[in-house]
Amino acid sequence: MKTKFIFITGGVLSSLGKGLTAASVAALLESRGLTTTIQKLDPYINVDPGTMNPFQHGEVFVTDDGAETDLDLGHYERFIQNPMSKNNNYTSGRIYNSVIQKERRGDYLGGTVQVIPHITDEIKSAILSLASDDLDVALIEIGGTVGDIEGLPFLESIRQLKKDLGKENVLYIHLTLVPCIKVAGEFKTKPTQHSVKELRSIGIQPNIIVCRSEDALPDDVCNKIALFCDVDNDAVFSAVDVKSIYELPLELYNQGIDQKILDLLKLKAKNAELGPWKELVKKLKNPQDTVTIAIVGKYVELKEAYKSLHEALLHGGFANNIAVNLEYVNSEEIDDAHVAEKLKGLDGILVPGGFGTRGVEGKITTIKYARENKIPFFGICLGMQCAVIEYARNVAKIADANSAEFETSTENPVIYLMAEWFDPRTSQKECRDTESEKGGTMRLGSYPCTLENDSLAHKAYGKNEIHERHRHRFEFNNKYSEILKENGLLLSGLSPAGDLVEIVEIKDHPWFLGCQFHPEFKSSPMKAHPLFKDFIAAALKNKK
Ligand code: GLN
């Protein structure tokens, strides 16, 4: 096996940006011609984040293979080439679930099932499942903070792996916070010392320490950390606060982190080719113009709930050489009387995905406003469904049109729970369990979609067939296709068998498009998603 493993732990406090550090390090290794992947191990008990509240946990990121994963996987995909899959995210719940199933099946032959070795073995096999002859380096990010009770089995597993795989194949990076006491003008290393002490008490000696700090750490501070934490003097790096997350790989490269990692892992690689990263940073620091986009949704208090969307809009800006200013507007505060004032001065409006009734009428009012006032509009998943409802009500004059999600007994469910459809991936009928506890199973993961010639979508993608990721229960109701088409709604993207409506547009408008899938999951800074690139271009045109 040629794969080497880098484990990334965090200390002092959470939210230090372990995910971004892992992604940046992986991007640097990739720029040196190595193949990489990143895995997130989350110590919570939920089997996956699919059922978690976005207000608490942020966005649920969806992979091509339909896994509902932690939002850090979105960062990984935006920073490196290798796509993520269900193997890139494990939670304690998923690990325990699998061990308990094995126990029930009798796989342990009557033995006592314990955290060590059964849970730790399960964790190790999840980590080792990444290894292959095509993969040079796997980076494993351990969620949470060192010292958390829940994280212990994961830390014990990665400790054992050094013994199992040999020390040249394993490296530990610890990310900490070095606060600066402004009045004394002093960087404080004590929290880092304590955190490393904690890590060592469970048998892990970090090889590299990355310190989050407001400003770059002076040499003497780095040397002090190296001395107390027993790492090489050139193995302490500062991850300073950067304006844009896309500056981080170059920041770390300038301090030589990639070379240090290669030396420690005894890996040889070509010089880093960072041209695309440099160009990106230059671009984002010198925007030629700015557009302001409103995101009208219900999870506006926690920006993390729209993480990929936020990034994809910025990418759309990079592709047009402009900056994108985002305004989050709570759809519950929008009604006919206030919509104009709430959305004043905006160059484009986006209604994102979501679940449940709250704030829906505000979204529908927003869409009507964007349609009538010819403001570029982009509706995603629930945003597309709301656009269909709005069009049915106000243009096709089906006054009580609604989604069965919001009004179960509606007479005119233009959006409804489709029980079965033709699955182009398997060429078989796929059934949605409409009786399930959660009210219908979700359509999850990547699906093909055929585009109508001469549509906005076709122009944006420049091809006939696309693949995009889904996460929803409800669908466009084909019973209403004819009447909506007669009234000018263009069904510009359909599943290959034609039974699922994936994109709707209207023609007499600068840019109005709704899609049933989540294009934001497939956008990256160097390769903005075509729909976001086009939407931002339309917003710029609208401004002028
Ligand atoms: N609530 C809608 C559905 O389940 C939309 C979901 C979404 O926006 N992701 O179909």
pLDDT tens digits, one per residue of 67-124: 999 999 999 999 999 999 999 999 999 999 999 999 999 999 989 999 999 999 999 9
pTM summary value: 0.94
* Residue spans per domain, the chain: 4-280, 287-543
Q: What backbone phi and psi angles, to 5 degrees, belong to 393?
A: -70, -50
pLDDT of residue 422: 85
Residue whose CA lies nearest to ligand 1 atom number 5? 382
Instruction: Give which of 207, 226, 193 is closest to 158, Cα–Cα.
Output: 207
Find the residues whose C-beta lies inside 6 A of ligand 1.
353-355, 381-382, 405, 471-474
- Integer Cα distance of 418 and 477 in angstroms: 8
> How far is ligand 1, taken at its centre, from the CA of residue 79, in Å?
27
Structure token pair of residue 167 = 């020390």
pLDDT of residue 438: 64
Establish whether 518 is a catalytic residue.
yes
Q: Give the class (CATH, top level) of 4-280.
A: alpha beta
Neighbours of 1 (CB within 10 A): 10
* Fold designation for 287-543: Rossmann fold (3.40.50)
Please check whether the two domains, 4-280 and 287-543, share a CATH topology. Answer: yes
Position in ligand 1 atom list of the atom nearest CA 471 = 9
Which of helix, strand or coil describes residue 425?
Answer: coil
Position in ligand 1 atom list of the atom nearest CA 442 = 4
- Integer Cα distance of 469 and 539 in angstroms: 25
Instruction: Tell me which residue has tokens 């904690």.
Output: 198
pLDDT of residue 437: 65
> How far is ligand 1, taken at its centre, from the CA of residue 381, in Å?
6
Position in ligand 1 atom list of the atom nearest CA 355 = 1
Q: Are strands 377-380 and 68-69 parallel, antiparallel or unpaired?
A: unpaired
Q: Which amino acid is at 245?
A: I
- Integer Cα distance of 352 and 308 in angstroms: 11
> How far is ligand 1, taken at its centre, from the CA of residue 197, in Å?
46
The preferred substitution site among 306, 351, 385, 501 for testing ligand 1, maximizing ligand atoms within 8 Å of CB, is 385
Residue whose CA lies nearest to ligand 1 atom number 6? 472
What is the four-CA torsion angle of 178, 182, 183, 189, rounded to 10 degrees? 10
With the C-alpha atoms ordered 134, 82, 262, 236, is the resulting torsion angle positive or negative?
negative
Consecutive H or E run containing 310: helix 307-319
> How far is ligand 1, taken at its centre, from the CA of residue 371, in Å?
22
Could you give the C-alpha distances from 225 to 12, 161, 181, 366, in angstroms and in order? 14, 26, 17, 53
Cis peptide preceding 117, ω within 30 of 0: yes
* Catalytic residue (choose from 222, 381, 449, 515): 381
Q: Using one digit for the tens of pLDDT, what is the confidence trace for 357-404?
A: 889 999 999 999 999 999 999 999 999 999 999 999 999 999 999 999
The preferred substitution site among 296, 378, 381, 389 for testing ligand 1, maximizing ligand atoms within 8 Å of CB, is 381
pLDDT of residue 439: 67
Is residue 343 within 8 A of residue 366, CB to CB? The reply is yes
Residue whose CA lies nearest to ligand 1 atom number 7? 353
**Which positions of the chain have pLDDT values less than 50?**
none
Span between the terminal Cα atoms of the chain, in Å: 57
DSSP alpha helix (H) spans, 166-218:
190-201
> How far is ligand 1, taken at its centre, from the CA of residue 400, in Å?
20
Which residues have a Cβ under 8 Å from the Cβ of 256 and sit 6 or more positions away? 234
> How far is ligand 1, taken at its centre, from the CA of residue 256, in Å?
44
Is residue 434 within 8 A of residue 458, CB to CB? The reply is no
- Integer Cα distance of 220 and 206 in angstroms: 20
Consecutive H or E run containing 181: strand 180-181
